[in-house]
Chains A and B, each alone.
Chain A
Amino acid sequence: MTIERRQFLKLSAATAAAAFSGLGFDLKPAFAKAELAKLTRTRQTTSVCCYCSVGCGLIVNTAEGGNGRAVNVEGDPDHPINEGSLCPKGASIWQLTENDKRLTSVMYRAPYSDKWEEKPWDWALDRIARKVKDTRDATFEVKNAKDQVVNRVAGMASVGSAAMDNEECWIYQSMLRAMGLTYIEHQARI
């Protein structure tokens, strides 16, 4: 249990004086521009990482002027879950919003089609609602093979979201149960 002491440190002692006094160049100007330019004139808001069910807190810095976009995202030191730390996925989360590959509109591929087409949000929501209703009505079982009342839907499943908070989960689950879904899962368990 000793701190490693190498030849290297012998050299350190010999040149320490030269490096920090004898050659006394003033290095301050070289570092003047090293001040924190990136986060100046930004606004801080808190958020929650959407990637897994741990729920790490984030601080998002968004530009006050200009386009108002996020300039940096990192862990929130005051958050009780992660106390400022983030895993590699969380650490890269700035790219979730600031990314030229990010999809910002609905992309639809029709059955048997080999290409994607852009669609409006309203069209997509209406179509999802239509499909949910049709599937629910087509696969709803009032009774099972033993003639027991079950009132369930076997034709749909939900793979829920780690990005939802407690209250959203309650509303979402209520909706699913009301429709009769029994296959209710969560991505964090898969």
Chain B
Amino acid sequence: MSGKSFFIDLSRCTACRGCQVACKQWKQKPAEKTANTGSHQNPPDLSAATLKLVRFKETAVGGDFKWLFFPDQCRHCLDSPCKLASDPVIQDAIVQDPDTGAVVFTEKTKGLDINLVRPVCPYDIPRVDPVTKIMYKCDMCLDRVRSGMLPACVKTCPTGAMNFGDRQDVLAMAAKRLGALAPRYPQAALIDARDVRAVYLTLYPVRQYHAFVQAAEAAPGNFSRRSALALLGGNAPRTRT
């Protein structure tokens, strides 16, 4: 199974937020009333109505001021902790499309506890609608992709930061771009490329962008991927050869 993948080239992102708006527009998600937080990051966080969010971070890298942008979204893990953790509770509340590999929250997620699902996500993506209790996140624009269209965020991106296609092609594109940038940006890296379908190219250490750019060995909170797998009744994890 190779499926589809995103390549998100942060060296090309200008934080125009076209992706964020195009996502909202295609999904017909409502605006959120927010207050000025002193940042262009608005809304301040992902929510059931905001599935794609450009995060802004003012930081210092090697003594130089950097304004870093991180268009955050679900990574569509090849092996999703959210699905692994929730299947024993409600089978297929979270499903994975066998053709594209998209991980999709269904309406059955309203029977799940967000405090189970959100902490197992290494990227802190799942959000719940406070009224309907249904959980939401990026679904890879599965309706578009299955009709041969690009996801809305990729389609609109004016700079080429957002890319999408067959996984092998996308990974090759990512490796090529990393090779081009590596001489100038020695800290450049492709994040969790073998595990996820939204592969980010970072120029600086991941913590400079956002707390949940890269999967840590244990998920945030006390629910690790290891225990998620144990719930599934799987064997002890083996090392890939």
Contact = CB atoms under 8 A, between A and B. Distances in A.
B221 interface: no
B14 to A, nearest CB: 10
A14 interface: yes
A11 B217 contact: no
A71 to B, nearest CB: 10
The binding surface of chain B is classed by DSSP as loop
Contacts of B26: 72, 74
B229 A30 contact: no
Most buried by B among A2, A11, A14, A39: A11
Given A10-B239, A10-B240, A86 B156 contact: yes
Interface in A87-110: 87-92, 94-95
Given A11-B237, A13-B240, A16-B79, A37 B156 contact: no
A72 B143 CA distance: 14
Contacts of B97: 27, 31, 34
B76 interface: no
Nearest to B17: A88
Interface in A15-57: 15-16, 18-20, 25, 27-28, 30-31, 34-39
B203 interface: no
A35 B240 contact: no
Contacts of A19: 79, 96
A15 B230 CA distance: 11
A82 interface: yes
A38 B182 CA distance: 42
Interface of A: 1-16, 18-20, 25, 27-28, 30-31, 34-39, 72, 74-75, 82, 84-92, 94-95
Given A8-B215, A15-B232, 20 more contacts: A1-B182, A3-B189, A4-B192, A11-B229, A13-B237, A19-B96, A27-B92, A27-B96, A27-B98, A30-B92, A31-B99, A34-B142, A36-B143, A37-B143, A72-B26, A74-B26, A86-B22, A86-B156, A88-B22, A91-B22
7 contacts: A1-B188, A4-B191, A10-B240, A14-B229, A16-B78, A38-B143, A74-B155
